[in-house]
Structure 1
Amino acid sequence: MMKKIFKRYRVFGVILIINLILLIVKPSLGTSSLKGTGDNLKELIAIMPPIFLLMGLLDTWVQKETMIKFMGEGSGLKGILIAFLLGSFAAGPVYVAFPFAAILMKKGSKFFNILIFIGAWSATKIPISLFEASVMGWKFMLTRYAIDIPVIILIAYITDKIISPIEKETIYENIKNLE
């Protein structure tokens, strides 16, 4: 039991130990590092509850059959478009995309569409793009989209082909084991 707890929180423990060492060795850097860690933790605590709520709603309200129909094997262009839209209208930092991707996988989304979703979340978020257009101009934003969208598709395609069916199956099994 105790070993399982240590394993689960080992990253937190390592970060805490590093911060404590920095506080002892170089107090100014340690204080700055500890403040940064605290700020990141506050952001995480503020973001995660609404994200978990949305994930729970997605998991409860969207039937597996529906997800398979729209984003599963054989969904074609429709699945790619939905993955782009889901990722583009998302809010929050990219690390939030991974729990959402896990739910999409659990519901039967095709691996390629999951990769598109993560790529869209990281590069084509509408709220950020609107801010970007107001600062950098619409031409810049549209040029970036003209480059980003094909590159996201290309990266997803290459990644989908490189990862073997056995590895994909293992990833999907790992997602099922998280329940």
Structure 2
Amino acid sequence: MVASPVRGMREEQRRQEQPKQGKAGSEWAQGPSGNGKIPAPGGGWKSGLPAFGVALALLGGLFFLNPAQGREVARLWKESTYTVLGLLPPVFLLLGLFDSWVSRERIIPLLGEGSGIRGGVLATLLGALAAGPLYLSFPIAEVMLVKGASLRNVFVFVGAWSTMKIPMFLFEVGSLGGRFAVVRYAVSLVGIVLIAKGTELFLGKEERRFLLARYYETEA
């Protein structure tokens, strides 16, 4: 697992700005649990070590049981690793520039809690116009949260990235017909919106506060 390129910088910035944010004694200033502690971010790359160890153990067992299949799996693993390493650094570089150059004050009206339908449309367009595999959307979604985007719009963005990309739609038009492509696109849009709203409601107010406390201090 690749550690976030913005968390360290955001932690430092939050420590510097903390006296300026929130109301003293407020529930949010005291943290979602009321104990004055803001949850720490995830464990970064160390949290992926157990899964990596299990994968290595399974690969070793496969080599022992079926060397031919083991070599094929190792080859595919190596190719996937090279692909990931080739895509992530440029994305992290662009995200670092975006994080430095674009302020939260410019993002919150567009994608924040009060953005309404406009925010949902913009989040959908951002996901639909994106290119690349789905795992690239996760660091971008994190930066969106850092900049004040609502959870609902982040969910919509990730959902649109996974199912509503414009190149995918054009491919479906040429291969399966325009009617199928339009219906599938419309159903995906409705499903994404419902899932995003349902997930936000399912999390509840306290869970949303706990998640958002990793990035900034505001009312959920």
TM-score calculated relative to the size of structure 2 = 0.73
Tell me whether 1:19 sits opposite 2:54 in the alignment: no
Residue 141 (structure 2) aligned to one of 77, 83, 101: 101
Query: CA offsets, 1:116-173, max 9 Å, x none?
Result: 1111111101122222222222222111111111111111111111111211122223
Structure 2 match to 1:151: 191
Range 132-141 or range 152-161, more displaced: 132-141
Structure 2 match to 1:85: 125
Q: Distance in 1 between matches of 2:45 and 2:207?
A: 28
Query: CA offsets, 1:87-137, max 9 Å, x none?
Result: 111111111111111100011101111111111111101122222222222
Q: 1:5 to 1:74 in 2, by over 3 A?
A: closer
Q: Distance in 1 between matches of 2:194 and 2:214?
A: 26
Tell me whether 1:30 sits opposite 2:75 in the alignment: no
Structure 2 match to 1:169: 209
Offset of residue 5 of structure 1:
7.5
Letter in 2 for 1:52: F
Structure 2 match to 1:52: 92
Q: Which runs of 4+ in 1 moved over 4 A?
A: 4-8
* Structure number with bigger Rg: 2
Structure 2 match to 1:122: 162
Q: Distance in 2 between matches of 1:6 and 1:101?
A: 21
Runs of at least 5 residues in structure 1 that lack an aligned partner in the other structure = none
Q: 1:161 to 1:5 in 2, by over 3 A?
A: closer
Q: 1:139 to 1:6 in 2, by over 3 A?
A: closer
Letter in 2 for 1:63: S
* More helix as a share of residues: 1
Q: Distance in 1 between matches of 2:162 and 2:71?
A: 31
Q: Distance in 1 between matches of 2:138 and 2:85?
A: 17
Q: Distance in 2 between matches of 1:53 and 1:59?
A: 10
Q: Distance in 1 between matches of 2:111 and 2:46?
A: 37
TM-score calculated relative to the size of structure 1 = 0.88
Number of residue pairs aligned between Structure 1 and Structure 2: 173
